[in-house]
Amino acid sequence: MIRINRKIVLISIAVVSMSLMFHGCSNSCSNKITDIHISNPDGNALKVSVQVQTKENLDVSILYWQKGNEKNPFTTLVSPESKNHRLVLTNLKPLQQYAFRIRTSKENCSAESKDYSFNTLDYPLWLKDIFKVICPDTNVLPENFQKGYTMIFRRETPGILFLLDFKGNIVWYHQVNGTGFKTAHFTNNNTIIALLGTADYQTSYGNEILELSLAGDTLFHLKKGQGDFKQTIHHEVLLNDQDQVVTICSEERIMDLRSKGGKEADTVKSDGIIVLDKVGNRIWKWTVFDTLNPLDDKNIIKDKSDWMHANCLNYDTDGNYLLSFYNNGQIWKIDAKTGKVLWKFGKGGDFEMPENGIFDNSHAVHINDHNQLMLFDNGTSKLLSRTLAFRMDEKNKKASLELNIPLPVELYSERMGSAFMVSDSTVLHSSSKKNTIVLTDLRGRYLWLLRTGFMTYRAEFIPSDRLMPYIQAVE
């Protein structure tokens, strides 16, 4: 007999039937379920965990659907060959009733239980109505945008990372208590890697690295002080092709700055790049101090507390690093093996800059799908933010401006921000200081706008196929 664990907080389950239907076998995998336990991890309204115990090693999956919509069920991934299974049901909506059926299999035998049901929770009160979409005409939206999702995150405590559909509905979220999501990326592994920081860490600085699966499981979690992770990190965290963590780190040097009007033992704070494995061992490191001498900077006394201010790290197509600096308006390409600076792009850099291509500050620097160097220009000198994309001729040190998309003056963001292509003709911009995300065409005409109840550092678009089967639209 199946035993249902009824010590469940906030989740109700009704046993409709405990008999099994079995196919292609006599009794080798039927009637093997001994326990089912349903829980609600962290009170998340859009996620339910189901633990299934079986008498012998079996493959287990769950078919589930919203009551009244039985023709559009969802299916979890298979939990392979074990007696103890934990499966996470996503694709849920708050305050709804769902039914599910457990499937077991072994070799050529498969079995299905009858139906069970549960009710989902409601969102916390403070999560309601924090997103508002303005879209005069959905017909102008690209199809992939209507099917895909936007990832944004809250940096304050408690930190929450959201995936939203084009209507502004929350389809997935994950909360971390006592800390905030300072930045996050959707990885090539279809996971989420994030930099976390407590209230002791300003703006985009933090002391933890977290990787999450789309089931909401922690894949790894490093905290400052573990292994070689001794420094404050900030603004960026990535995975490389060896599944190692790459991030920007804070660096300090005690220097004699008397020749510049400073002290004999003055502190200069700047930036570096550090690569760690997932247990915290340092694999590689580079610092600004390896390349520049602070004494060569005439403004070092003014800038010593935040010299350069690196704010974005990414990869070029050859695997070398692209590192952007807010204070000097430059992007550097750095050899990922030797640490040599291969070129500098921007004000006073190595490239002949195109007309209208000079940018004040840059955020979210990356190579887009058209092999263009793309960035969000805060535009502090003109009080006008815009998105730029360049075709880079590295051999001849020339750059051609291929995208120049100005945002309306009311969406000017002097700090933070991002811009990513959604389709060949549309771009998703984050005007962080205005709590606004906007989809525009390549001329800057807005097609869709999202107002958020908090300041989000970036907004990333994720195509729907990258999230299957954890997030699926109901037909």
Domains by residue range for the chain, with CATH: 3-119 (2.60.40.10), 126-466 (2.120.10.30)
User: Rounded to the nearest 5 degrees, what angle is found at the Cα of 68, between the Cα atoms of 62 and 73?
Assistant: 30
Reported as type and span, the H/E element at residue 147 is helix 143-147
> Residue type at 287?
T
- Looking at residue 6, its pLDDT comes to 34
Instruction: List strand residue ranges (DSSP E) for 294-417, in order.
Output: 310-315, 321-325, 330-334, 341-346, 362-367, 373-377, 386-393, 398-406
- Per-residue pLDDT of 443-457, as tens digits, reads 999 999 999 999 999
The DSSP secondary-structure symbol of 352 reads B
Output DSSP code: residue 207: S
The pairing of beta strand 48-66 with beta strand 79-89 = antiparallel
d(CA 373, CA 365): 7
Summarize pLDDT for 43-96 with one digit per residue, the tens: 999 999 999 999 999 999 999 999 999 999 999 999 999 999 999 999 999 999
Kindly state the percentage of the chain with pLDDT values over 90.
Answer: 89
- Helix (H) or strand (E) segment spanning residue 89: strand 79-89
Cβ-contact 426, 150 below 8 angstroms:
no
Task: Give the model's pLDDT for residue 108.
Answer: 82
CB 62 within 8 A of CB 87: yes
DSSP 354: P
**Which of 2-11, 32-41, 258-267, 356-365 is the least confident region?**
2-11
Question: Rounded to an integer, what distance in angstroms lies between the CA atom of residue 384 and that of residue 390?
Answer: 19
What is the value of pTM for the model shown? 0.93
Helix (H) / strand (E) element for 145: namely helix 143-147
